[in-house]
Homo-oligomer: A and B are copies of this chain.
Amino acid sequence: MPETDVDLAEFDVVGIGNALVDVIAHADDSFIRRESLVKGAMTLIETERAVSLYRALGSAVEMSGGSAANTMCGIASFGGRAAYIGKVCDDELGRVFGHDLRAVGVSFRPGFPEADTPTGRCIIVVTPDAQRTLNTYLGVSSLLCPPDVDAATVAAGKVLYMEGYLYDRPAAKEAFRAAAKIAHANGREVSLTLSDSFCVDRHRDDFRALVTDEVDILFGNEEELMSLYEVESFDDAVARARADCALAAITRGSAGSVVVTPDEVIVIPAEAVERVFDTTGAGDLFAAGFLYGYTQGLSLAACGRLGSIAAAEVISHIGARPLVDLQKLL
C-alpha cells in the first residue's frame, strides 16, 4: 500500500540550501554600474567585498531569505509540512533566521555549529524596474557537509528539495549527493532547482549528471535550462529536459510557466499582478506552490497554478517570503 506510506510521511517537503539573511535596499542603475554588479544575477562575494558593498548601500531592511528556505516557508504558508536543513551561526542573524522559519511552522535542522564563522547574508539591490541583483556572502552556510544532513529528516519527507546554489562548495556538493541517496533509499523523490544561470555555468557537467542520475523533479527558469543544455532556444531546452527528467517545471517570468514530462507539455499563464515591486523569491515561491500541490496529489496543471499564485503574491511586495497566508488565496 504505497499510498499509506506516503500519507505517513512526517513532512511533505524537506529543503536543503544556503541559510541566508537578506539585506534588501533600493538603488538605481547608476549604483549597479558604479559598483560593477552583474544585474539580475547572483554573485558570490567574500568578506571584504561584503563590507565595502554594504558601506556603499543605502539604508536597508533585514529579513530571512535563502532560496530553499523561502520555498519551505511558502509550503508552510499553504498549510504543508516542511523541514529545512541549512547552517547558521549562533549570532543575531542566525537567531533571526531560525526564528522566522519556526514562526511559520517550518521544522529547522541547523546542522552542527562551526566556531565563529558568521551567518551568511545576501545583499539584494532592488532597482526601479523591480529587478533584483544578489550579492551573497555565504558565511557559515557554505560549510554544510554530509554530517549536517539529518538522515531521519530526509527520510521523513515525501520530496527532497535542493538548491543549485549549494553546488558552489565541494563539501556541500557531497552533502547534496548524500541527501539524494538517503531520499531514494527511502522511496522518496528528489527535486532540484537550478538556482541561477551563472551557477549552472560554473557546474554544468555536474548538474547534467545529477539531473540524469538523481533528479525526479527539475525546477528552473528558461535561462537556467538553456544554460544547462547549452542550447539557443527554449524549445530545444524543453525537448532535452523531457528526455532527461520525469518532470520539469520551468518559469518564464511574465510569460508564466511550462510543466513538462516525457508525455506532456502544460502551459500555465502567470497570475495577474497589479504592480510588481520586487521579483525576489518569485522562483522560490513558484516551487513552493508547485510542490505543495504535488505532495497533496493534485494534477500537474493545478500544481503549476498554485506556483503562479504564490509567485504573484511574493512579487507584489518587498521581500522573498509571503506576507499573507497563501492558504487564503486558494
Contact = CB atoms under 8 A, between A and B. Distances in A.
A57 B91 CA distance: 19
Interface stretch (A58-66, A210-218, A281-289): A58-66
A104 B57 CA distance: 10
B62 A103 contact: no
A264 to B, nearest CB: 37
Contact of A99 (B59, B64, B319): B59
A21 to B, nearest CB: 8
Contacts of A230: none
B103 A59 contact: yes
Contact of A58 (B62, B104, B319): B104
Contact of A92 (B57, B63, B64, B93): B93
A90 interface: no
Interface residues of A, number: 26
Copies per complex?
2
A54 interface: yes
A321 interface: yes
27 contacts: A26-B323, A54-B99, A55-B99, A57-B99, A57-B103, A58-B104, A59-B63, A59-B64, A59-B73, A59-B99, A59-B100, A59-B103, A59-B104, A59-B321, A60-B63, A60-B99, A60-B100, A61-B62, A61-B63, A61-B319, A62-B62, A62-B63, A62-B96, A91-B92, A92-B92, A92-B93, A92-B118
Interface of A: 25-26, 54-55, 57-64, 73, 91-93, 96, 99-101, 103-104, 118, 319, 321, 323
Sorted nearest first, the 8 A-B pairs with minimum C-beta distance are A59-B100, A62-B62, A92-B92, A59-B103, A61-B63, A58-B103, A59-B104, A92-B93
